[in-house]
């Protein structure tokens, strides 16, 4: 068994290096690659995907896992190993089981199609014309249907895809959470609407992009983003990617008249990066050195973006600097007025720019559409119209064009069907983690106000980051908070915060 484990670790290390090689050229594709290079880049990505698939699903990998006793009943194997070794066996078995059910031809075709689809999506978005992306998306949906059938599922094809991002969770479980969550969010939105809106005219003015970039970089540096282990660049859609133990890249985008969009993108992606950079030394350099699920990963970015970045203590610290940089735009604007504008709740079209309350409704929209596309209930050609109809139903607004609506997210061009629910799960985990954090850090607010972010980051590293993928999401949640995922913490957080912003109890 020991020899088999040593050899399995070597295989895992090879996969780790190949995946980071793949991530490197994908990062370049989305940042600096000239557009004309896309066709060959797609072939490069497909080649790497095929090599990774071959290595993962080889008979030798299966033999090693069998020798370690890994099976569906006991995926961590039967050896008496430390937790991190059991976790490595479990994750390798899980990956092997999923991948071995997928023919290499399907894997490489998906990589090739998504490479082509990304450029098509960028072009379609620029021209606000879904028809320029429709054929690409149709092919991606077909490939995802085939993928779901090959992997297998008990209830809905969506389960097989969701499981790739949020292990062991099913669509019906998501629906159980999203049903009451959607109702409570809609009720809160209605009460906020009745309370009236704060003045936000000053944050809709033009803010020089160079100053936005300077301010955003200074904020993430103070939060803890290390410039010697990562970098910040521009992309059409903000993302984070890990290229190595000491190389995590984040991207952002800026708009002159959306000053908060770029800032919160910076902070959001910084949260993801801090998670990746905080894994324990005992698992650095192998497949466990990443987030255990995308819901947990998203909890880190949403925590820093919203529960820190949109808090009053945060702006008590940073508003004087912000006001100094943008004196003309914020002239005569008090801290309280600025804080209320930062936390304005109003239905909007762009998910990444949505407020904390309506954000979950954006996710519910995408979850419902993905399920319908995958099952065949909704044709890709009908997607723009159905997007607009459901947007009006959930948010009470209708996009003016496809760029503002169905084309706004990059995820579908990357083949990521089943991904979106993890964003809302991240909000739920974040609120529950923060509740426990505040018990351990009584001076939580003053630590933010004083810029002592290391105190908060140390807690996250000690309770979440260092474990990487060692503990499954549900077990990690219980270890940190003492209970299973409980959506009430998020609802309580929103109710308390937005009562302070809008005075809801007084209405």
- Positions annotated as catalytic residues are 269
3-state class percentages of the chain: helix first, strand second, coil last, to nearest 5: 65, 5, 30
Cβ neighbors of 188 (< 8 A, separation 6 or more) are: 345, 357, 494, 495, 498
C-alpha 104/C-alpha 82 separation (Å) is 33
Closest CA to 270 of 297, 290, 310: 297
What CA–CA distance (Å, rounded) separates 97 from 83? 21
Asked if residues 274 and 299 have their Cβ atoms less than 8 Å apart, the reply is no
Where b means 16+ CB within 10 Å and e means fewer, 228-262 reads eebbbeebebbbbbbbbbebbbbbbbbeeebbbbb
Under a CB-based contact definition with an 8 Å cutoff, are residues 151 and 101 in contact?
A: yes
What are the φ and ψ backbone dihedral angles of 160, each rounded to 5 degrees?
-65, -35
Alpha helix (H) ranges present in 153-284?
Answer: 157-162, 171-195, 209-223, 259-277
Q: Nearest 5°: CA angle at 374, between 349 and 395? A: 20
- Nearest C-alpha neighbor of 369 from the set 411, 327, 338: 411
Determine how many CB atoms are found less than 10 A away from the CB of residue 189.
Answer: 21
Q: Fill in the DSSP letter of residue 484.
A: S
Question: Any bridge partners for residue 247, and if so which?
Answer: 244
∠ CA 205-211-213, nearest 5°, is 110
Task: Quickly count: other Cβ atoms within 10 Å of residue 370's Cβ.
Answer: 25
* Helices assigned H by DSSP within 278-355: 294-302, 312-325, 335-342
Nearest to residue 252, comparing CAs of 268, 267, 264, 235?
235
Q: How far apart are CA 495 and CA 7, in angstroms?
A: 52
- What angle is formed at CA 473 by the lines to CA 189 and CA 168, rounded to 5 degrees? 95
Q: List, as one string, the DSSP characters of 355-421.
A: -HHHHHHHHHHHHHHHHHHHHTSS-GGGHHHHHHHHHHHHHS---SSTTTTTTS-SGGGGT-TT-TH
Q: What angle do CA 225, 226, 228 make, to 5 degrees?
A: 150
């Amino acid at each position: 068994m020991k020899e088999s484990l040593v050899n399995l670790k070597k295989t895992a290390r090879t996969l780790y290096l190949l995946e980071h090689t793949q991530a490197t050229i994908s990062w370049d594709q989305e940042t600096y690659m000239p557009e004309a290079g896309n066709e060959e880049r797609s072939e490069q990505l497909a080649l790497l995907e095929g090599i990774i698939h071959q290595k993962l699903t080889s008979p030798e990998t299966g033999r090693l896992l069998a020798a370690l006793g890994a099976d569906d009943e006991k995926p961590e194997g039967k050896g008496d190993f430390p937790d991190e070794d059991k976790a490595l066996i479990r994750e390798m078995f899980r990956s092997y089981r999923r991948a071995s059910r997928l023919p290499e031809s399907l894997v490489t075709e998906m990589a090739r199609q998504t490479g082509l689809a990304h450029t098509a999506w960028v072009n379609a978005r620029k021209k606000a014309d879904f028809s320029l992306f429709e054929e690409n998306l149709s092919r991606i949906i077909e490939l995802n249907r085939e993928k779901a059938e090959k992997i297998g599922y008990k209830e809905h094809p969506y389960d097989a895809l969701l499981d790739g991002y949020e292990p062991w969770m099913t669509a019906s479980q998501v629906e159980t959470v999203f049903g009451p969550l959607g109702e409570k969010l809609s009720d809160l939105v209605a009460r906020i609407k009745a309370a009236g809106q704060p003045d936000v005219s000053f944050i809709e003015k033009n803010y020089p992009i160079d100053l936005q970039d300077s301010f955003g970089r200074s904020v993430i540096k103070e939060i803890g983003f290390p410039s010697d282990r990562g970098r910040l660049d521009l992309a059409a859609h903000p993302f984070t990617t890990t290229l190595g133990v000491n190389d995590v890249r984040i991207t952002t985008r800026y708009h002159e008249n959306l000053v908060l969009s770029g800032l919160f993108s910076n902070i959001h992606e910084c949260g993801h990066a801090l998670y990746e950079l905080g894994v324990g030394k005992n698992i650095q350099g192998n497949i466990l050195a990443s987030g255990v699920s995308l819901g947990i990963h998203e909890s880190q970015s949403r925590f820093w973006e919203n529960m820190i970045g949109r808090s009053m203590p945060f702006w008590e610290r940073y508003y004087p600097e912000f006001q100094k940089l943008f004196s003309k735009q914020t002239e005569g604007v008090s801290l309280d007025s600025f804080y209320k504008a930062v936390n304005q709740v109003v239905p909007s079209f762009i998910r990444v720019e949505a407020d904390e309350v309506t954000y979950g409704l954006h996710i519910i929209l995408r979850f419902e559409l993905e399920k319908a596309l995958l099952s065949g209930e909704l044709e890709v050609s009908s997607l723009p119209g159905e997007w607009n109809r459901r947007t009006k139903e959930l948010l009470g607004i209708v996009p003016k064009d496809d760029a503002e609506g169905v084309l706004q997210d990059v995820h579908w061009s990357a083949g990521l069907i089943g991904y979106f629910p993890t964003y809302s799960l991240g909000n739920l985990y974040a609120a529950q983690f923060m509740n426990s954090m505040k018990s351990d850090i009584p001076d939580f607010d003053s630590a933010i106000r004083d810029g002592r972010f290391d105190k908060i980051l140390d807690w996250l590293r000690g309770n979440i980051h260092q474990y990487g993928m060692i503990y499954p999401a549900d077990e990690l949640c219980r270890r940190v908070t003492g209970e299973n995922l409980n959506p009430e913490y998020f609802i309580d957080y929103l109710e308390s915060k937005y009562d302070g912003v809008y005075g809801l109890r007084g209405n």
